[in-house]
Amino acid sequence: MITIDLTGKTILLTGALGAIAEFVTKRLVEAGAVVLCTDIVPPDQARERIDSWGVPEDRTPYTVMDVMDPESVNTAVSELSRRYKQIEICLGHAGGCPLHPFHETSPEEYERIFRFNFHGQVYLTRAVTRYWLDAGIRGHMIYTSSLCGSVPWVDLSAYNPAKAALEMFARTLALEHAEAGIRYNLVAPGHVAAGSCLIVYENDPEYRSMVNRVIPLKRMVRPEAIGDAFVWLCSPLAEDVNGQVIKVDLGASIPKLGGEA
């Protein structure tokens, strides 16, 4: 059995209080990493939630960061890079949205969803990449994309193109910063049994039927599997992976003749 050891690794994580992020954080901590958790929730509320996961506080320090605010991102990245010796890995995980039929989505809400899922990652990437270049660190940026980055899903008319843009953005930077040894990859989850996706699956028969129809294995993706994908990408086992989208979707993205992708 191969055991992945991330002892000594300090990993910055955005959107750390999300449903899937809980499992990502647990898996990284189990592997020995220190996870610098960031989100928009006040510290006392965030600490209470993170502690409920059963992870040590000294391995999951929390900092407020709003990925929609470039100044907030710059400040948090600057403070964390001073406080910790070397942050070699950053997980751009913040994102998501509810279902929003296009004809019912206001221009303002459409723009907000796109900005959150794409521009928030751009702000993060600019701050972290600048830190890596200045410090001479051969860093690794890993984004959370989605099945929807390559397979359109109804009622997600802003989210789908935002994730598609993120995937092209990562590939572009993988080429642009290759000489500096900085890598950019993505994990693209499918329909995960966690958070709002699980709630809708359990309570909306139409959505559940659609999901079961497009997933060959007829079940939702385990959130632990998403954590495992991040652990692997953070490890030496994935040192030769660059500019790639790692799909963890139980085959939902496989094109199917006469049916949904």
Q: What is the pLDDT of residues 161-207, one digit of tens each?
A: 999 999 999 999 999 999 999 999 999 999 999 987 888 888 888 88
pLDDT value, residue 259: 55
The answer to whether position 213 is within a domain reads yes
Tokens standing for 209? 């039927």
Sign of CA dihedral 31, 168, 73, 64: negative
Retrieve residue 174's tokens. Answer: 């993988």
CATH of the domain at 121: 3.40.50.720
Does residue 261 fall inside a structural domain? no
Distance (Å, whole) CA 133 – CA 185:
18
Q: Which range marks the domain in which residue 48 is found?
A: 10-247
Q: How far apart are CA 208 and CA 105, in angstroms?
A: 23
Residue 207's Cβ-count burial label (10 Å; 0-12, 13-18, 19+) is middle
pTM (predicted TM-score): 0.95
Q: Is 80's pLDDT higher than 80? A: yes
Domain assignment present for 3: no
Three-state DSSP class for 11?
strand
Q: E strand or H helix at 36, and its extent?
A: strand 34-39
How far is the C-alpha of 170 from the C-alpha of 175, rounded, in Å?
9
Asked whether residue 168 is assigned to any structural domain, the reply reads yes
252 within some domain: no
pLDDT at 97: 87
Torsion, Cα 142 145 146 149, to 10 degrees, reads: -130
DSSP string of 152-212, one letter each residue: --TTBTTHHHHHHHHHHHHHHHHHHTGGGT-EEEEEEE-SBSSHHHHHHHHH-HHHHHHHH
* DSSP label of 57: G
Whether 146 is covered by a domain: the verdict is yes
61 falls within a domain: yes
Number of domains present in the structure of the chain: 1
Q: Decide which of 216 and 5 is more confident.
A: 5
Instruction: Report if residue 71 sits inside a domain.
Output: yes
